[in-house]
Amino acid sequence: MSFQFPRPGKSRLIAALAVLAAVLAGAGVWYFGSYTKSPEYALRQIQHAITSHDQQTFDQYVDIEQLTTSAVEAVLAGMMDADRSLTDASRDSISNLAAMFRIPLQNSFRSVLQDFVRTGVWGGNSEPANEAETSVDSGLILAKLGLRNISFAGIDSLKKDTENGTATAHLRLRPAEAKEDFILQARLVQTDSGRWQVKELVNFRDFIAFIAQTRQAQLREYLETSAPVLERHDAFVRETDQKRSAIMRGRSLGDTIVRQALREIVTGALLPDWQARLKALESMTVPTQAQSIHRLRLRITKTRIEYCQLYGEWLDTRDAATIRRANELLHEARTMEQEQERLLHRLQASVEHI
């Protein structure tokens, strides 16, 4: 059995198909002649290249050499921008010193980008392409610059400058360390072939300074929060030291009553205070810039705790090895406390100009 369209219906179908064919043809012309040569298409291709681990396509739409070169210059300038205590002379000296790091940094940044496309992991885990040219740990650089823990929250807008053949994509970044997003501006340039390429992160210098200043503000908050806590404990330590001196004044450690009184102070008062200090330190929120001094404070506190325990034990046993180890710990603690004071002074100076 065969089926035939009625003549009027057949004419309408042919006309509809003709219109559809024209629309599809027009869409094809638009797609290949216009859309594929637009900055929107370039951004989509970059995104696709990253998700499909297509390095060749990524290289077509991102000028890695120019991007990494400008990024390194922005990093070095941004780090100096964040330190408002630097004089012009200091900036010149640091800039000259930093010149030797430009090539290693550029190689590391290139490695990070290529690694990201290849693996989808942002972190700089690969070996440098040329070990002779760089000894910089790209993962460490990312962490120091606050680039390791950031997430991409989308494209806010895309503005095209037809006359200059450029476009600016406003990318919303969400740094884990900051309380607010940062809008990063990526500059795209149309090449002779009509393809658009990302050439530069226009305000990357501002982003580096933004992260550094955020960290400095967090450091200041940490120092201001921890200071009264430690001062209270330090005051208690000074008070107990005075009591220990009063007990020992004109008396001997050979006296059982003296040893008992000292033990009550050391293990009954001083030791619990150091343990309370350790608990307070472990409960604090510690920003990146304060990690070094916080770790030092923890080590000091744990060393003091062990000293109190051993000294209290020696007051009972009078064992020579025990008091020798206790004195070693006391010396270690005092040495670290001196280092803590020097480090604290430097950190306080670094946040005075915020």
Residue with the larger pLDDT of the pair 344 and 73: 344
Given this model, what pLDDT does residue 163 score?
A: 80
Given this model, what pLDDT does residue 28 score?
A: 45
Q: Which DSSP string do the residues of 215-236 spell out, in sequence order?
A: HHHHHHHHHHHHHHHHHHHHHH
Mean pLDDT of 171-176: 89
Orientation of helix 291-317 relative to helix 204-248, angle to 10°:
20
CB atoms within 10 A of CB 273: 19
Q: Is the pLDDT of residue 297 over 80?
A: yes
**Greatest mean pLDDT range, 28-32, 75-79, 118-122, 294-298:** 294-298
Q: Is the pLDDT of residue 129 over 80?
A: no
pLDDT tens-digit profile of 17-46? 555 544 454 444 434 446 788 999 999 999
Mean pLDDT of 239-263: 90
Here the tokens at position 205 are 């210098």
Residue 88: band (very low, low, confident or very high) from pLDDT cuts 50, 70, 90: low
**Residue 142 contacts residue 109 (beta carbons within 8 Å):** no
Mean pLDDT of 312-340: 96
Given this model, what pLDDT does residue 86 score?
A: 53
Given this model, what pLDDT does residue 243 score?
A: 92
How close are the terminal C-alpha atoms of the chain, in Å? 88
Residue with the larger pLDDT of the pair 259 and 140: 259
**Rounded to an integer, what distance in angstroms lies between the CA atom of residue 218 and that of residue 79?**
16
Given this model, what pLDDT does residue 111 score?
A: 85
**Rounded to an integer, what distance in angstroms lies between the CA atom of residue 153 and that of residue 156?**
9
200's enclosing H/E stretch is strand 196-201
Q: Is the pLDDT of residue 6 over 80?
A: no
Residue with the larger pLDDT of the pair 354 and 235: 235
